[in-house]
Amino acid sequence: MPDWDDLRFFLAVYRSGSLTAAARVLGCSQPTVGRRIAALAGTYGAALLESRAGRYAATTVGRRVLARAERIEREIGGIADDIDRVDERPQGSVRVSVPEGAGLLLVAPRLGEFRRAYPDIDLVLVGEHSIADLGRREADMAIRAVRPRQHSLIARRLAVVPFSLYASERYLDERPRAGDAVLPTEDLVALHEDFTTSPDFAWLRRNVPDARVRVRVRSPLGIRTAVLAGAGAGLLAPYLGEAPTLRRLVGPPPLLRDLYLVYHRTYRRTARVQIVSRFLTDCLRSLSPIG
């Protein structure tokens, strides 16, 4: 008889398509995920997953297990919901998914302050560029740049963040211009092509159409690192562009991005979640306020 924890590993690999991605979701190592999947196959006497073109897919046995595993997941989520409806005590664990840059630069430095004020709340900050699925309890709360559409989620807009082009003094010394003006032929550091739906792509095409992308990365922190190294100009939020060797370039109006605090509707009366909500709001107060 498999236990729920094994099935949780199975669902994570099936949904993400790889052991590495599942390990990030589950907060463990890739070998651990591999061992749990192998153990589950031993329990059933057949493999539940197989690799197809570099991505894991469910086998015939796995597809039969999948529907039941998802039903178990929903039932366990329902139990958590029932408990949270009556939980009025400021204690317990809260897992928060945040964009890497905002999480590391604006929230993480104040975790000690939060721990001293609320020692019984275990606040776990997960900095990531991907979007955690709150419906599947991959996180309890999230800070997102896109407003979710699910009725089961509460979303509150915290700020409107202006993104502008920044460059290092080293880069500007090599590419002189008048008054730090944006050149139409800038060398750029930009997001990877996998993120073409991001507003960043449209903004760069519209405002620096003759620029050449020299470096592509998968996160705003990656853009910041390459810009600091002098690889080119990059589109950054103010909290990422504030560095002694970086300068904001002058030219096109900034790209304005909304930032939302999101959590499951069943948490609206849960004391620990509301306390964390107020803490996150205070951490992000330095960003441009909504108006």
pLDDT at 224: 96
Q: Report CA-CA distances (Å) from 253 to 146, 166, 195, 235.
A: 21, 13, 22, 12
Q: Give residue for tokens 């807009």.
A: 157
Tokens of 95: 């897992």
Domain with CATH 3.40.190.290 in the chain: 160-256
Domain with CATH 1.10.10.10 in the chain: 4-76
4-76, CATH topology level: Arc Repressor Mutant, subunit A (1.10.10)
Please state the separation of Cα 89 from the chain's center in Å: 28
Low-confidence ranges of the chain (pLDDT < 70): 1-3, 77-89, 129-133, 135-137, 288-291
Average pLDDT, the chain: 86
pLDDT at 291: 40
pLDDT at 99: 87
User: Residue 198: how many CA atoms within 13 Å on its side-chain side?
Assistant: 20
86-159+258-283, CATH topology level: D-Maltodextrin-Binding Protein; domain 2 (3.40.190)
- pTM: predicted TM-score of the whole model, two decimal places: 0.66
Domain with CATH 3.40.190.10 in the chain: 86-159+258-283
**Quick one: 152 exposed, middle or buried, by C-beta within 10 A (0-12, 13-18, 19+)?**
exposed
Q: What is the CATH number of domain 160-256?
A: 3.40.190.290
